[in-house]
Structure 1
Amino acid sequence: MAKQVLPTNFMDDILNESMNGKRRWIITQNDDGTYTFEDATTYDQLGNTFGQAQVNEMNKAINESVDQARVIDDYKTLAAVNQNGFVPGAKPVAQLISDLGGCSLEQDGVDFYIVGADAVRKKLGETPEYSVLDCGGVDFKEHEFGQWHHGYHFTKVSEIPNFGSMVHGKDFFIEVYNGGTNQLNAGIGVSYVKHSNSELVMTSVNGLKGLYVKVYYINNRAIPAPSSFLKSIDFTIASGTATKNILLADIPDAGEIVCAGLVSRGWEGWNALNVTYTTESVTITFSTSNNSGNAYGSEIVRVWYR
């Protein structure tokens, strides 16, 4: 039902100038001894009647002040509408509460928080931060993925809650470090294979005996995925590079660097690649005595920023 529109053109009585601002009345005595008053005023304008009917109309309109045509009772429609002036009905709100799965929203001043099953308040709108887990080093499973393609299984990742549900390159990324201490051959490429709640599997080409990795992971999964807040950009490190510096100015629309790390290696990616970063720069070095300390194949380093 459409919202009731009340009149806005009410008028007052306007007395004629000859009345000198005073109304005139004729008083007539009735047979029963009472008196009747009759208005004898001359008016230039007669005002509107304002009584019970008008008051009731006004109160009814106030009670129904939400335009029923702008109340959204469908959950999918509510998610799609981004215009001002629309309000959710009870049905989609109940569905939203159900979908929150026991979560509740709280307000503290101008800040809003979501409270999950762990009863911990998490501030909405905050950029998620990352924690790091040093998985140390593991020896290879020789030829696990074909000739010269060795496997490395890191079980320490089981310490990361719900690691198997995380997305590589979005919820977590991998830094390979100190990989060059146990090399058998110079042409070595290291890459991600798969992960679960209990292990992270990596592979290399051409005989890296021991592999060392750190895993950077989002530490608050109750906050929406980091892609909602962070952006990322990939830089390819060309073969022959000894040191690569990435500055904040090299990244379009970046205000600060949040984190950075290796996400992919070329077939002949040099093993001793190190990535360090601050809020304003990223430094990639190839600190090994072999190959003159240079990259031997193309490496891809991803930088997350906001």
Structure 2
Amino acid sequence: MYVVTNSQGMTARWITRGATLTELHVPDRNGKLVDVVLGFDDLAGYESGANHHFGCVTGRFANRIKRGRFTLDGVEYQLAINIGPNHLHGGVLRSLDKVTWEAEQLRDSLGVRFRYESPDGEEGFPGTLTTLVTYTLTDENALRIDYEATTDKPTIINLTNHSYFNLAGHGNPSVLDHELKIDADRVTEVDEESIPTGNLVEVAGTPLDFRCRHRIGDQIEAAGGYDNNYVLNGEWGTLREIAEVYEPESGRMLRVSTDQPGVQLYTANGLSGQPGKGGKPYHKYGSFCLETQNFPDAPNQPTFPTSVLRPGETYHHTCIYAFDVA
């Protein structure tokens, strides 16, 4: 386990399995620190079926790939089928959330750098992929995540962090009163298997519209729970603020910035009360994820931003979770 604390008392903890963020203690408007991310007290929890990718680095390809197949330079590759007839989050046994990463505590800043070399063919992906993930905690109460990756053969890549947040504290039963804003006019339309059709559809007039900040719970039942990729406004590759979340009782505010083209909003629809840290139950709609990333099934959608990484290129991705009070 690696631990860093900034000058304001905000504390982050990680473990090397999955380069996972296990705790994030954030002050409220009165300075009271509360752990706002879901997780487990021990390694056994993270290795159990109760772990829904809590806090981990997700990949090699986060989100879904239709039928687990893609073609690159004329060669078809088959990945694991692990969600219905499709592929999710990099695989089954050796996806990035399940392997042990090398780690070093940074000397020149408050942070930890993780490194993992995924061999050619691991989980069906081509190329040896060398990935660096650097978490940095600032004295302004921001957690910055920088991803870099290189490959020795053409491959595909889409990395994210899969932290589940509850700004009232992990284990609180609901985030329905949290207020959310996402700077996106469109989402990727999906079929009944949550696979993109290739169409980008307007959020206006639908339960998916978070262009103005409002309660997550306002239309969540009409939406069937949120598990949607938002097409972010602004230029891909440019770091910009793309979302904010406010929890009225504590006053905690989370602002999310990224240079990626999309963010997946997920409201823990698959949780069912399994115990987490301190034995607290983790419920459906009891947390939210804002996973900055490329679009799902991008390798099979020629109009989506490319997910191809080639030798000599470097994959870059930055996500900042900045906390404040109001």
Same fold, judged at TM 0.5 (above): no
Structure showing the higher helix proportion among its residues: 1
Higher Cα Rg, which structure: 1
Structure showing the higher strand proportion among its residues: 2
| Higher relative contact order (CA closer than 8 Å, sequence separation 6+) | 2
What TM-score, normalized by structure 1, do the two folds share? 0.26
